[in-house]
Structure 1
Amino acid sequence: MEDFIYEKDANGIVTVTMDMQGQNANTMNARFEPGMRAICDRLEAEEGLAGVIFASAKPTFFAGGDLNDILATETADEATFAHVEANKAVYRRLEKLPVPVVSAINGAALGGGYELCLACNHRIVVTDPRAVVGLPEVTLGLLPGAGGVVRLTAKLGLEKALPFLLEGKQVRPDAALAAGLVDEIVADRDQLVPAAKAWIRANPDSHTQPWDQKGFRYPGGDAVHPRIRQTAIMAPAMLYKKTRGLLPAPEKILDIAVTSMKMNFDAALRMETRRFIGLMASKEAKAAISTFFFGTQAVKSGKVRPEGDRWQAGSAAVLGAGMMGSGIAYAHAKRGLPTQLKDTDMANAERGKGYSERLCDKALSRGRLDEAGKAALLDRITPTTGNAAAGSIDIVIEAVFEDIGLKEKVIADTWPMLAQDGIYGSNTSTLPISILAEACPDPTRFIGLHFFSPVDRMKVVEIIVGDKTSEETLRKAYDYVQQIGYMPIVVNDARGFFTSRVFGTFMDEGCQLLSDGMAPAAIERAAWLAGMPVGPLQVFDEVSLILSQKVRKTHEALDQRLGVDSKFGAHNTATSRITDAMIDMGRGGRQYGGGFYDYDAEGGRTLWDGLGQFARGNSEVSLRDAIDRILYRQAIETLRCMDEGVLNTEVEANLGGIFAIGFPAHTGGAIQFIRGEGIEAFAARARELAAEYGDRFAVPDSIYDRLRDDKAQAA
C-alpha cells in the first residue's frame, strides 16, 4: 500500500493520495490494479464513510498506462483481456460506491489518469497551465481503454466527445471547465482537497453517475436522434479523408462511441476492452509509442545531446533575406533572440523583415498575438547591409543561395562579426560542411544548420557535423535549435546529408513510375495512399525542377574541383532524364509557370497532358507495387545513411524522416517502418522489388545486421 496513502478525517471523508514508488509519475503499472483493488476493498468495508477524494503526491495527477508494458505486448490474448478488464473493474467499483467520489487534479491527468477522473462524481482542477486533462491515446495509436470512450460519450454526448477522443487534445483548466471535462477550478494546489471536502459535504447524495441513473439520456441526443444519426453516418467518410485508412485507432474509437449509445453500459465497456487490446499489439501503436513518445522524449530530454553546460545565444545574424533567411529571422525573434537580417540590398533586407510582419498579422487575426507582442517581435529584427561589430554576435546563420563559391565568399567576409565563443552555421541543404569550413579561420566553430521551408511551420533543423566541428560547437548548436523551439536532428557530413538524400529518392521514384508507364494521376494517388503529404510530381513543382537541376550540377562541378566521383544521387536516373527535358521545354516548376502541372490564374492545377512522352514502356505497375516502391525507396536510403554513419541513431532517423521529409507518420519513421514490417519480411520484399524494378532497391544483407541487434534500438 506504499503506492496509495489512505487517510480518513473526522467527518468520514477518505483521501487516497497516489504516490507510485520508484517513479516520477503515477501510472497504471503492474502494482496499480492490486493496489486499487485493495483500496476499493477497504472503502467498501469502511464504516461511516462519507466521501472519497483521489489526490496525488506527484507533480502530476496521473499519467495513464505504462507504455513500456504496451510495447512489450505481442499478441491480444485472454491474459491481456483479463488484465485490462481488471484495471477497469476498480474504476467501476469506485463509481458504485454509495458516497460521492472527487478527483483533486493537481497536475496533468491524461489517459488512464483522466479516465479515473471520469469515474469520479466531481472533478476539481488547479489553475495551472500544466494541469491539462484529456485522452491522448489516439496520438499513440491506441484508444482510451479504461472506460474513456464510453464514459466521455455518455458525459458530453457524441458530438462534443468526438473531437477530444479523435484528436487527443490536452486541455488546460479554463477550457476544460468550459467544455465540461472538469467541474470546478481552484486557485492553488492547497485548495484542492478542502474544496473537494466542501463539495462532498454539500452534495452527500451525489454518488450515482448519470449513466447509472434510471431514464438516462445522452446529452445532445440518443443514438436515434436525427442529428446524432447524421453525425454517425458522415463521420466515417470525414475520418477516412483525414487518416486515409492508415490509422486503425480513430476508426475503432468512432465505432465504440457510436455503438456504446445503443447497448448496456457494462457491455460497452467490454467492447471497448476488446478493441483496445487489438490495438496494443498493432504495429501502428508500437510505431507511435516508439517514435512520438519515447523518441521525442529522448530528443527533448537531451539523450542524444553532447554532454556539457547548457548554452544560450544572446545575439544572432542571418545572412540572406530570401524566404529561408527571413523565416529563420522570424523564428529567432519569436523566441526572443535579437537578430540582424543582412542582405546586399537594403530593400531586400526590409522585405525580409516584412515577411515576419505578415506572419504576425496572421497571428493577430487568429487571436494568437496582440499588438504589443507584434511590436516586440519586430523590434528584435534589424535589417542591414553591413556586418555587425567585430566579435559581437553569438551565432551567425548563412542562408544565401546554394552556390559553393558564393557561400565561401560570404563565410570569409562575415566571420569577423562572430564572438570569441560564438558559432557559425551554414543553412545548406546538400553542400559538404567540411569543404565549406575551409573558408573559416576556425573550422572547429563551423557547423551545418539545415532549416526547412517554410521555416515557421517546419519545426526541425538538421545539424550537420563537419570533419573539424568540435563537440562544443555541436552542443551549442543543439542548444540553439532547442532555444528557438525546434527539433534538432544530428547527422554527420556527407553529400546531401540525410534529409536531402532521402527526399531526392522520393521525387525520383515518382519519375521512375512515370518512366515505367504509370499514369501521373495514379502516381500521385499511390503517394497519398502511402501516407505522403504530397505526391512526388507536385513536390517537384513546388521545389522547382530548376533548383533540383542546379543542385545536381553544383555537385558535378564540386566533383570536378575535388577530382572525385561522389556518386551523389547515382540512383536518381529518372530525375535527370525527365526534368532536364522538361526544363528545356520551359517547364521549370510552379514558380516558372508550370512543370508536371499546369496552373490557372486562381492557383488551381491540373496534370500536364504532355507527361506521357516520358514513358519508356507501357508496363502494368500495380498500385500495391507503386506504394511499396515509394516507401521502400526512402526506407532503403535511410538504411544506407545508417550504414554509412551519416545517421547516428534510429530515433533521429525516424523523427527526421517524418518531420523534415514527410515520411508517413503512421509508420513511426523509416526505420520503425522496417521494424513494423519485420526485418526479414522487409528484406524479402526489397529483393522482389530489386528483381522487378532495379538495383536501387538492392540492399546487402549485412546492412540489416544493425537492426537485428536489439541494442541498436536505444537512442
Structure 2
Amino acid sequence: MIYDGKAIRVSMLENGIAELCFDRQDESVNKFDRHTLGELEDAIKALTAATGISGLLLSSAKDTFIVGADITEFGSYFAGPEEQLVEWLMYPNNLFSALEDLPFPTLAAINGTALGGGMELVLSADLRVMSTNARIGLPEVKLGIMPGFGGTVRLPRVIGADNAIEWICMGSEQDADKALKDGAVDAVFAPEALREQALAMLQLAVAGDLGWQARREAKKGKLQLNAMEAMMVFETAKGYVAGQTKGQYPAPIMAIKTMQKHASMERDKAIAVEAKNFAQLAKSSECESLVGLFLNDQLLKKKAKGWEKQARAINKAAVLGAGIMGGGIAYQSAYKGTPILMKDIAEAGIELGLNEANKLLSKRVEKGKMTAFEMGSALNRIRPTLSYGEFSSVDAVVEAVVENPKVKKAVLAELEDQVRDDCVIATNTSTISIDLLAADLKRPQNFLGMHFFNPVHMMPLVEVIRGSQTSDEAVATIVSYARKMGKTPIVVNDCPGFLVNRVLFPYFAGFAGLVRDGADFQKVDKVMEKFGFPMGPAYLLDVVGIDTGHHANEVMAAGFPDRMKPDFKTAMDVMYEAGRLGQKNSKGFYQYEVDKKGKPKKVVDAAVYDLLKPVVAAQVELSDEQIVQRMMIPMCIEIARCLEEGIVETPAEADMGLIFGIGFPPFRGGACRYMDSVGLGRFVEICDQYADLGKLYQPTERMRAMAAAGESWFPKAAALSA
C-alpha cells in the first residue's frame, strides 16, 4: 500500500501499475471537500516518492466517480475577498496539475457520475475511459459560476473550443455516446468490462503505443486556433449565448470570455486567468441566488426523506376524474412505475385522459427518451374504469374533478365508502380549503390536498396541503408518492390559495392596480419579462385562463378581503365579461394564432385597449423600476405573511415554491432572497412610498422589526480562511 486514507487509497497492482482509488468511507458518494483534497495532496506526494511505477489508474470504489466539489463547504469562501478565493482555488488546481505532471501515463476509469470538480480531475489524466451508464459534465453555470479547477483550460484543448463552449455554457450532463463522439473520452465499455479494459489500455500507454506524452503536451499548451478562427468561434458564441440568457446569467458569457482570453496561453497562466474570473463570478448576486437555490433544493430533499420514513407504501393508486388533468396525473404515475386506476363518469372523459397519457408517452418515444416497448408497459399501468370496482385495492386516490366545492364534497363522500379505511385520499385543488372539504368525511385524518400544477408533466412542484386533522402518516405517504412520481413536494398548511396561489394573486393585484392607474399592460409584461419571469402578468393570465383566474381571485378576495378584494373593476373582470378567456378561446389580453409548430402565438389586439378604456385612467408613463416595485411588493409581503402564519415552514421552501410553481426568476433566488438582495431595511422604505395603495403594500410589523434589527431571511455566509 503506497497510501491509505479515509477518502483515497493508493496501491500497487501488477506490471508496475498503481491505482489511486477514491472511496470516502463516511459518505455515500465521493466529493471534493477539504479533507479529500488534503488526502489527494498526500497521495500525490506518495506517488512521486514511490519507485517502480510505470502507470497510474484513477478509479472509484463507489457507484459514482466523483460528484464534484462540496458546495456547502467551499461556497463559504465566496463570502471572503476575491484574492482569498483565488488563493484557495490555486490549491486544488496545483494538485490537479501535479497529477497531470507525474512522470508516467495516467488513465481515469469513469464508472459513474463525474461532474464539476470530478470531471476536471479526469481531464487532468492523459487518457479517459467511461462506462456505458456513466455521465460526465461541468454544471457550474447552474450555480452562477464556471469551472474553477481547470475545466475551462483543459476541456477546449481536449474536445475543441466549439464543443467545450457547448458543454460548459449548457451545464448539461453528457452520456457516454456524446462524450465519445466529442472526444472527451477515448473509449466506452460495458460496466463489467470497464476495469479490465482500462488496465489493458493503460498497459498500451506504458508500452508507448498510445502517444500519451504528445496528448499531455497538447493539453498543457496553447489552444490550437489561429487568431481569425479564435475570433470567429468565441465572438459568435458570445453573441448567441447573450441572446439566450438575455443578460440575466453572466456565468456562461464569463466562461466564453475566459476561454478566449487564455486560448493563447499555456496551462499555468491559463489557470490563473480562470481562477481570477471565477472569483469575480462568485461575488455576483446571481451566484449567491443560484447557490442558495441549490442549498434550498438540498433542504427540500432532506425534509422529504424525513417524511418518507413515516410513509406507507403506495403499490397501486387511483385518479378520480380523467380529462387533461387526470390523464396527466395518470401518465406521471404510470411513467414513473406506479400502476394507477383512472376513473371517470363518462367514456368521453376516459378517452380524453387516455389520449393525454398516450400523447405524452408518444412524445418521449419520438425524442428517443423511451422505447415503444417501454411506452406500452407504461400505458398498461393505466387501468381506465367507469366504476369503483377495484378501488378497494388502492393505497391512495387523487381526486381531480372540477374545481367546485359542492361537487368535490359529493364525490369525496362517495369515494370514502369505496376505499379501505387506511387509504389516503388527496384532492387536487388550487384554492379550495382542505378543512372545508374534510368537514363531512368520516376519516379526515386520511385526507389532504395534492395540488399539481398544469401541465402536470412539465411542472416540477406539488403542494402537499395539510388540513387541521390530517395525520403525519397521510402527509408522509403523499410526499413519498409525489417523489415517486418525480415531483418536488412542499408541505404547506391550509389557507385560501395555500402557498403559491396565495402569493401569486397579490402579484396579479399589483398588475390590476397598474392598469387601472394608466400603465400599458404590454409594457408591464415586457418589464416583468426583463425582470426574469418567463411571461408577464397579462400573458400569464391568458395562459392560465381568464375564467380560472377570475374564479381563483374571487376565492382569494373572500379569504383575505382586507387586501385582496378590489374596490374597482379590474382589467381581468373586463376580459372575463367580454368572454375573452385567453389561450383556451384564442383571445384574452392578446389574440392567439397557431404557429408553424401548432403552438399558440400571441399577437397584439388593438380592440383590447378600447375594452379597457372605461376602467383605465389616462395613460401614464411609469419607469421600469416603478413597475417592478408595484408588482413585486405585494408578492413579497404576502410571502412574509405566509411565513409568519406558519403556512410554509422556511424561507427556503417558500422561495422554491415560487421558483417551481410560477417560474420566479431563478437568478433572483425567490421572493425572500430578492428582499435580502434589496436589503430588508431598504425594502420596507420602498414599501412605505406606496403605502397609499392599501394593505397589499404595507409591510407587517414583523418585517419592520426584522428591518430595524438588520436581519435577513437567509443568514449571510461567513468566509472561511484558506
Tell me if both proteins adopt one fold, taking TM over 0.5 as the criterion: yes
Letter in 1 for 2:564: H
The correspondence of residues 450-529 of structure 1 with structure 2, limited to 5 A, is 450-529=451-530
Residues 245/492 of structure 1: CA separation in 2 closer, same or farther (3 Å cut): same
Partner in structure 1 of residue 326 of structure 2: 325
SS where residue 171 of structure 1 aligns? coil
One-letter identity of the residue aligned with 2:181:
A
Q: CA deviation at 1:423?
A: 0.7
1:50 paired with 2:43, answer: no
- Match of 2:719? none
Assess if the C-alpha contact under 8 Å between 1:311 and 1:480 holds in 2: no
In the alignment, structure 1 residue 143 sits paired with structure 2 residue 146:
yes
Alignment partner of 1:26 out of 23, 27, 30: 30
SS at 1:654 equivalent: helix
- Partners of 1:590 and 1:107 in 2: CA distance: 45
- In structure 1, the residue matched to 2:420 is 419
**Which is further off, 513-522 or 403-412?**
513-522
**Deviation, structure 1 residue 601:** 6.0
In 1, Cα distance between equivalents of 2:406 and 2:706: 39
- How far the C-alpha of 1:692 sits from its partner, in A, is 7.4
User: Residue 563 of structure 1 aligns with which residue?
Assistant: none
CA contact (8 A) 1:402 1:551 kept: no
CA contact (8 A) 2:673 2:713 kept: no
Please tell me whether the aligned partners of residues 71 and 286 of structure 1 are also in contact (alpha carbons under 8 angstroms).
Answer: no
**Deviation digits for residues 316-349 of structure 1 (CA, Å, limit 9, x no counterpart):** 2222223212211111221233323222221222
- Would the alpha carbon gap of residues 156 and 593 (structure 1) be closer, same or farther in structure 2, given more than 3 Å must change? closer
> Structure 2: how far apart are the matches of 1:547 and 1:352?
20
1:602-655 deviation per Cα after TM superposition (whole angstroms, max 9, x unaligned):
544223323362432444321122234334432322221111111112332122
Q: Give the deviation of 1:191 after TM superposition.
A: 2.9
String of CA shifts for 1:394-429, please: whole Å, max 9, x gaps.
222111111111111111122222222111111110
Aligned to 1:70: 74
Indicate the larger mover: 504-513 or 402-411: 504-513
Q: TM-score, normalised by structure 2?
A: 0.89
- Aligned partners of 1:48 and 1:70: how far apart in 2? 36
Query: Is the contact between residue 57 and residue 109 of structure 2 (CA under 8 Å) also seen in structure 1?
Result: yes
Partner of 1:125: 130
Asked if 1:567 is matched to 2:572, the reply is: no
Aligned partner of 1:608 in structure 2 is 605
1:194 Cα offset (Å): 3.0
1:619–1:111 CA distance, 2 compared to 1 (3 A)? same
Q: CA deviation at 1:48?
A: 4.1
Looking at structure 2, the residues matched to 692 and 243 of structure 1 have their Cα atoms a distance apart, in angstroms, of 37
Letter in 2 for 1:94: L
Structure 1 residue 311, shift from structure 2 partner = 2.7
Task: Look up the equivalent residue of 1:249 and give its one-letter code.
Answer: A
Q: Is 1:700 matched up with 2:700?
A: yes
Q: 2:268 aligns with which of 258, 266, 269?
A: 266
Q: How does 1:33-182 map to 2 (within 5 A)?
A: 33-72=37-76, 73-127=78-132, 129=133, 131-182=134-185
Q: CA deviation at 1:31?
A: 3.6
**Distance 1:241-1:575 versus aligned 2 partners, 3 A rule:** farther
Q: 1:209 to 1:455 in 2, by over 3 A?
A: farther
For 1:596, the aligned partner's letter is F
Report what 1:313 is aligned to: 314
Deviations 1:360-411 (A, max 9, x none): 2222222223332222222222333322346333222111111111111111
Question: Please, which of 19, 42, 47 is the counterpart of residue 15 of structure 1?
Answer: 19
Structure 1: give runs of 5+ residues left out of the alignment: 560-565
Q: How many residues align?
A: 699
Superposed CA deviations along residues 84-109 of structure 1, whole A, max 9, x for unmatched, are: 11221222222233321222323322
* Alpha-carbon distance, 1:123 to partner: 1.1
Secondary structure, aligned partner of 2:388: coil
What amino acid does structure 2 have at the position aligned with 1:589? Answer: G
Instruction: Write the distance in 2 (CA, Å) between the matches of 1:390 and 1:356.
Output: 21
Look up the match of 2:720.
none
Structure 1 residues 198 and 701: CA distance shift in structure 2, 3 A: farther
For the pair 1:201 / 2:206, whether they are aligned, the reply is yes
Q: CA deviation at 1:595?
A: 1.5
Q: Distance in 2 between matches of 1:210 and 1:133?
A: 20
1:590 aligns with 2:575: no
**Alpha-carbon distance, 1:555 to partner:** 6.3
Q: SS at the partner of 1:27?
A: coil
DSSP-derived class of the 1:102 partner: strand
Contact 1:104 1:196 in 2 (8 A): no
Quote the Cα distance in structure 2 between the aligned partners of 1:247 and 1:686: 28
**Separation in structure 2 between the aligned mates of residue 29 and residue 339 of structure 1, nearest angstrom:** 43
Once the 2 structures are TM-superposed, how far is the Cα of residue 698 of structure 1 from its aligned partner?
Answer: 1.9
Residues 1:472 and 1:709: Cα distance change in structure 2 (over 3 Å): farther
Partners in 2 of 1:223 and 1:289 — Cα distance? Answer: 36
SS in 2 for 1:439: coil
For the 8 Å contact 2:152–2:259, the answer to whether it is kept is: yes
Amino acid at match of 1:17: C
Change (3 A) 1:709 1:231: same
Find the aligned partners of 2:714 and 2:527 in 1 and give their Cα distance. 32
Unaligned stretches of 5+ residues in structure 2: 717-722
Change (3 A) 1:356 1:248: same
Match of 1:670 in 2: 671
Partner of 1:562: none
CA positional deviation for 1:659: 0.9
Aligned-partner Cα distance in 2 for 1:206–1:679: 60
The TM-score with structure 1 as length reference comes to 0.90
